[in-house]
Structures are given as C-alpha cells and as structure tokens.
Chains A and B, each alone.
Chain A
Amino acid sequence: MKRTTGAELIVRLLERQGVTAIAGIPGGCNLPLYDALRASSIRHVLARHEQGAGFIAQGMARVTGQPAVCLGTSGPGATNLLTAIADAKLDSIPLVAITGQVPRAMIGTDAFQEIDTYGLTVPITKHNFLVRSAGELLEVVPEAFRIAASGRPGPVVIDVPKDVQNEGILIDGLPLPGRPDPLPLPRAEDVARAAAMIDAAERPVLLVGAGVIAAGACAALRCIVDKAALPSAATLLGLGALPYDHPRFLGMVGMHAARSTNLALEECDLLVGLGVRFDDRAIGKAAEFCPDARIIHVDIDASELGKIKEPTLAMRADVGATLRALAAAVAPATRPAWNRRIARLRAEHPLVMRAADDPLDPYGIIRHTAAMLSPDAIVTTDVGQHQMWAAQAFPCTRPRQWLTSGGLGTMGFGLPAAIGAALAAPGRTVVCFSGDGSLLMNLQELATAVEENVDVKIVLLNNAHLGLVRQHQELFFGGRYHASRFRTEPDFAAIARGFGARAWDLGDAADPRSTLARALAAPGPVLVNVPIDAAENVYPMVAPGGANREMIGGELHAAER
C-alpha cells in the first residue's frame, strides 16, 4: 500500500497515459494539482488565457491524434475553457480538460470562484465527471482518456474539488491506462453491397471527411480511389486526406468550393460519404444536395447516419476497416466517360486565382508562403476569409497537416493551436494563417509562443475588417456595412515585437517576396503583417441556406478559357 493524494494520483495517472505536455493556468482551486505537477516529468505550458490553453491542447491533439490535456481553475478558469471544449466537440477532437472546483463542502454555496462546471459542460462534452473522492480518480482518469479517444473522439471534462485533490488515499496499485474501445467492423454483406453499388455507378464521387483522418485511413482511401478511379472531394476538415495534386482529388466541397467541385457533386449518381456529417457549410441546402445520387454513408457514429441525408446504405463502422475491405472488393475501373466529364468541368469551372503571383494578394500570400515552406510544415488557420482562401489555395499533401476550426468556427483558434502543434511536432515549422479580427481574439498567446520559443510563423492577412462579415453585408445585406470595419488599426508588427517575437511588415517591404522568405526562415515565433485589399471577397460563394449549385462569383471569363 502506498500513501498518496488526489493531486499526486492525477499526475501519476496522466504520466501513465503517456501525456508529456499539458497547457493550463493555475488558480486557487487547482493549486494542489500544480504542486504535484512540479515533481512530474510532464512539461507544463503556461498559457495566458484558459481558452488559449484549451486550443494549445487541441493543437497537440490534432497533430498526434492522441488525447491532449488542458488545465484550468474553478469559476472563470473553467468558463474560459468552454469555447475550446465546445470547439473540440464539434470537430471530434480528443481532449481531456481538468478543472479545479471549490471544496466539496462549499459546492452550492456560491463560494468564491464557484461555477457549475459539470452543468456548463454537459452539452459540449462527450462526457464529464465531478469527482467526489480521491478514490474515484482511479476509475475516472483512465475512463476520461478511453472515452475521449474511443469511436468518434471528443472532449471530456474532469472537475476535481480542491479538497479531493488534497485528500490522502492509500492505494495498492494503479489502474491500466485508458485505451480506445475496439472499433466496430463493417458487416460483410454491407461491404459487398457497397462494392456492387460503386461498381455499378456511372458517376460516383467520394466525399471525404475528418473521420477518415481520425481513423488513420488515408492509405486505404488512396488505394480504393486509385483502383476504381473515383473522383473525391473533401470537407474543410477532410483536407489533407488526399494530396492536393492527386489526379482524382476535386478539392473542398461546399460554400466556398471551386465551381467544378460543386458541379461534379450535382451530377453524381452515387455519393459515398466517408467520415462526414453532412454539415450545412459543406452540403448547402440538404434537400438539393446531390439530387440524382444514391448515398452510401460510412460513419462510426450511428446518430450521424440518416441525421441530415437518408442514405441508401448506412454503415456504422470504422471507416478504415471499411475502406480496406471496399478497396479489396471493388472491381478495378478507369471510368473514362465520367473522368473526362470531370476534367471538362475542372477546365471550364476551375478555382480562379487571378493575382496569385502577387504576394500582397490573398491567394498570392498563401501560395508564396506554401512555396517557401518545407514539405513537413504544419498549417493552422483562424476563422474567416483568410481561412477559406487558405482552404482553397494551400497545397495540403498529408493528413494532420491542416488544422482548422470547422464546426464551431472559432476565431482565435489559430495561434494557440499553432503553439500546440509546434510543441507536439518539434523540428517542424507551423504556419498560422490569421486575420486581424481573429488574431486579436487570442493575441495574448504570443507571450506563450515567445516563452516556449516555438517555431510558429503567423502570416496575418490584414484588411482592417471582419472580412467575412463585411462580405456577407455586401452580398446579402445590400451593402449596408455595420460594425465590420475596425476604425483603429493596430501596428501588429510593433505589437509582436513588444511581446518579444520577430516581426516584418510586407506593406513597407521593398521586395515583399524576399522579406517573406527571411521572415519564414527566422528562428522562433514570427509575425508577418500582410496588408490586403478590404474589398477582396472569397469566391465562389453559396448563400447560407442556398443550394450548392447556386454559386455567386468566381467564374472564369470567356477570354481566360
């Protein structure tokens, strides 16, 4: 028997889970846990806001696929974590958030920094715990990791009252680390039926989502795509599952897809949804999405099957095992007519990037940055126009290279997620494409980036606007702009230097290309301010609630064909 405390027990159990780095902020009700962390091999990254800590952990989880951990104290520590937890829920990211709580005897008394963390996190977690004794931790901590990583991954909250952290306990051993549940395999008859449907289809398209990346199924995906010559589109979070230059890859589907991509889906007679949830930004008006198609839907979450689109064949199974079985079962095919039709759509309705050679053009800065990066670089984005431009133009070559906030669409995601990615992938550069609206939402994490000396390069597309809001006001509110222009324009390069980062401003640069190259090659955290024209919009665009076939803008002019 060994005598320990709740706090020490948490730390031992985290170490046994293989956790090597944690992001968080100490406060009154998690101080015992921080005291126990001092003696641990786990690296603690001190964030400057708990939301930053949550997104740093997300960055680690998105790069590794393993559950990552963030810490906050009770009350405001917990409420500040909520956005990052909710973001992890919507994008199915394995996250374990451990919060301090007021001592058990004070729960329910409106004590200082008391908030109902359990109640607040019910709707934004996969599961949550309020720990009532140190002994419970032996079960709760491994359970939290098991739940976060099993099936469709997601966030789990463990709320630990301060006196539980301090509670002495005699233990005679530690439980096994929590590991993911076995994966549900596809039924042989479903595989046979799906393969027959694919073989029989004249105009099939695969729609690849985050589930394929989460399942580590990209090699199997490539196998079936090549064998059966299957045109494949990706959702925003499915980018990287196939390399951008794969001949069958159609790019991103949905609100800001290339016209050819949405048109190909419009014409398909079989849609195979792989680890997707038919989000409205991806499919537009659900009733008019792929109007002529039968649908095969593969997902590990049974509640997604039939939630938005009723499939002809629903398969609740691991998408990796399903793709491996399907790749073996489908007949080799070349589909000359359909792939010719796709090639023609792509020639006539490509993504139009007119000024991509200008480094001060939105597409241009993304293309130039990409060209200067090593192939193993990682990309994060914030949320808004720059995110969509990057989704359209950044050449993703592999899974877990592209980290973006899809479901919740959280401005402020990019910088802390980049710090987490850099911590999880030392030796690799992480570029954070951001906007001036988004960056200000978690700007304080620049201090964390400098303190940890992470290789994070912020490329700031600065139009002094909430650009996507401005675009919506232009297109859908009769040009009645309100509250989308910033009337003061911070000097972001000076601010970054104030935090101790290196910074360059392409607006002042005689040769923006060489300045960008110098900035990206500089060690440690760097900010590059890139002034861009506020009138630039992301095209094409499907109006919210509209059908994907009804795209605004982004046409190739007749003379350009």
Chain B
Amino acid sequence: MRQSAEVVLRLQVRNHPGVMSHVCGLFARRAFNVEGILCLPVGDATRSTILLLVHDDDRLDQMILQLRKLEDVLEINRAHDAREAFATVRPFLQ
C-alpha cells in the first residue's frame, strides 16, 4: 500500500458529547490510524473544529467520503495550512 506524507483534515462539526466518538469510531472501524487530534469549540460553541493528522494513504479518499456522510460533520477539507498547529502543541505533549 502506498504510504506517503501526513496530511491534516479540518472538520467543522456540531459540538455535542457524541461527535468525537462518531469521527474517531469511523477511523477505528476501518483500521485507519489517526496520528493526532486537535479540537476546540468555535463561535457560539454550537460548533467545533477538529483537526486530524492522518497518513495520506490509498484509503484516505474513501475515509473522507465516509466522514462526509456523518450528520454531525458539516464540512471537511484538507488543511495544508494546519500542520503548524500540531508542531505548536507538541512541546506540551512530550
């Protein structure tokens, strides 16, 4: 299987206690590893933004299509500009 660079996905989601299990469960069920997760509420806190650091392998397009089907996922795109976010928090996690 082709495996190359890491890529960041940015998800706009509804902010409620179950949304993380929907998103992470989707990756877990398909044995697709998530390398890093960042999540914060945005605006009036009815929504959150999730950044997912994942490997850009052959299955990623299918994963994105599956994520789009989740009712709580309002928007999803590849966020090339968000790699820095993970570099910024790294010192707090080591």
Among residues of A, the one whose C-beta sits closest to the C-beta of B64 is A303
Question: Is A130 an interface position by the 8 A CB rule?
Answer: yes
Among residues of A, the one whose C-beta sits closest to the C-beta of B17 is A130
Cα A126 to Cα B69 with chains together (Å) = 8
Supposing A119-B21, A122-B22, A122-B25 touch, asked if A303 and B71 sit within 8 A by C-beta, the answer is no
Q: Is the CB of B71 within 8 A of A122?
A: no
Question: Is A332 an interface position by the 8 A CB rule?
Answer: no
Provide the residues of chain A in CB contact with B21, threshold 8 Å: 118-119, 122
Within 8 A of B (CB), among A379-419: none
Question: Is B66 an interface position by the 8 A CB rule?
Answer: yes
Q: Is the CB of B66 within 8 A of A303?
A: yes
22 sampled A-B residue pairs with Cβ under 8 A? A118-B18, A122-B18, A122-B21, A122-B22, A122-B25, A123-B25, A123-B29, A126-B69, A126-B71, A127-B71, A127-B72, A128-B18, A130-B17, A147-B71, A301-B69, A302-B65, A302-B68, A303-B62, A303-B65, A303-B66, A306-B62, A307-B62
Within 8 A of A (CB), among B53-67: 61-62, 65-66
15 additional A-B residue pairs with CB within 8 Å, beyond A122-B22, A123-B25: A118-B18, A122-B18, A122-B21, A123-B29, A126-B69, A127-B72, A128-B18, A130-B17, A147-B71, A302-B65, A303-B62, A303-B66, A303-B68, A303-B69, A306-B62
Determine chain B's interface SS by DSSP, over half rule.
helix
| Contact digits for B13-38, partner A, Cβ 8 Å, 1 yes 0 no | 00001100110010001000000000
Provide the residues of chain A in CB contact with B66, threshold 8 Å: 303
B56 nearest CB across to chain A (Å):
17
Provide the residues of chain A in CB contact with B72, threshold 8 Å: 127
Among residues of B, the one whose C-beta sits closest to the C-beta of A146 is B71
Interface size, chain B (Cβ < 8 Å): 15
Provide the residues of chain A in CB contact with B68, threshold 8 Å: 302-303
| Contact digits for B62-86, partner A, Cβ 8 Å, 1 yes 0 no | 1001101111100000000000000
Q: Is the CB of B71 within 8 A of A130?
A: no
Among residues of B, the one whose C-beta sits closest to the C-beta of A316 is B65
Among residues of B, the one whose C-beta sits closest to the C-beta of A122 is B25
Cα A324 to Cα B8 with chains together (Å) = 41
A310 nearest CB across to chain B (Å):
11
Provide the residues of chain B in CB contact with A130, threshold 8 Å: 17-18
Residue ranges of B at the interface with A (Cβ–Cβ < 8 Å): 17-18, 21-22, 25, 29, 61-62, 65-66, 68-72
Cα A118 to Cα B19 with chains together (Å) = 11
B45 nearest CB across to chain A (Å):
15
Cα A118 to Cα B21 with chains together (Å) = 10
Q: 8 smallest A-B Cβ distances: which pairs?
A: A303-B65, A127-B71, A122-B25, A303-B66, A302-B65, A122-B21, A123-B29, A118-B18
> B29, B61, B69, B72: which has the most chain A beta carbons within 10 Å?
B69
Provide the residues of chain B in CB contact with A127, threshold 8 Å: 70-72
Within 8 A of B (CB), among A314-358: none
Provide the residues of chain A in CB contact with B65, threshold 8 Å: 302-303
Among residues of B, the one whose C-beta sits closest to the C-beta of A303 is B65
B26 nearest CB across to chain A (Å):
8
Cα A163 to Cα B45 with chains together (Å) = 26
> A126, A302, A303: which has the most chain B beta carbons within 10 Å?
A303
B24 nearest CB across to chain A (Å):
10
Cα A128 to Cα B25 with chains together (Å) = 14
Among residues of A, the one whose C-beta sits closest to the C-beta of B22 is A122
Provide the residues of chain B in CB contact with A126, threshold 8 Å: 69, 71
Cα A306 to Cα B59 with chains together (Å) = 11
Cα A127 to Cα B71 with chains together (Å) = 7
| Contact digits for A105-132, partner B, Cβ 8 Å, 1 yes 0 no | 0000000000000110011001110100
Provide the residues of chain B in CB contact with A147, threshold 8 Å: 71
Provide the residues of chain A in CB contact with B71, threshold 8 Å: 126-127, 147
Provide the residues of chain A in CB contact with B29, threshold 8 Å: 123
Among residues of B, the one whose C-beta sits closest to the C-beta of A127 is B71
B72 nearest CB across to chain A (Å):
8
A120 nearest CB across to chain B (Å):
11
A96 nearest CB across to chain B (Å):
14
Provide the residues of chain B in CB contact with A301, threshold 8 Å: 69
Cα A307 to Cα B58 with chains together (Å) = 11
B6 nearest CB across to chain A (Å):
23
Among residues of B, the one whose C-beta sits closest to the C-beta of A305 is B65
Among residues of A, the one whose C-beta sits closest to the C-beta of B69 is A303
Provide the residues of chain A in CB contact with B70, threshold 8 Å: 127
Provide the residues of chain B in CB contact with A128, threshold 8 Å: 18
Provide the residues of chain A in CB contact with B62, threshold 8 Å: 303, 306-307
Cα A307 to Cα B69 with chains together (Å) = 14
Among residues of A, the one whose C-beta sits closest to the C-beta of B23 is A122
A280 nearest CB across to chain B (Å):
16
Cα A128 to Cα B22 with chains together (Å) = 10
Among residues of A, the one whose C-beta sits closest to the C-beta of B18 is A118
Cα A303 to Cα B63 with chains together (Å) = 9
Provide the residues of chain B in CB contact with A307, threshold 8 Å: 62
B68 nearest CB across to chain A (Å):
7
A56 nearest CB across to chain B (Å):
26
A114 nearest CB across to chain B (Å):
16
> B17, B18, B68: which has the most chain A beta carbons within 10 Å?
B18
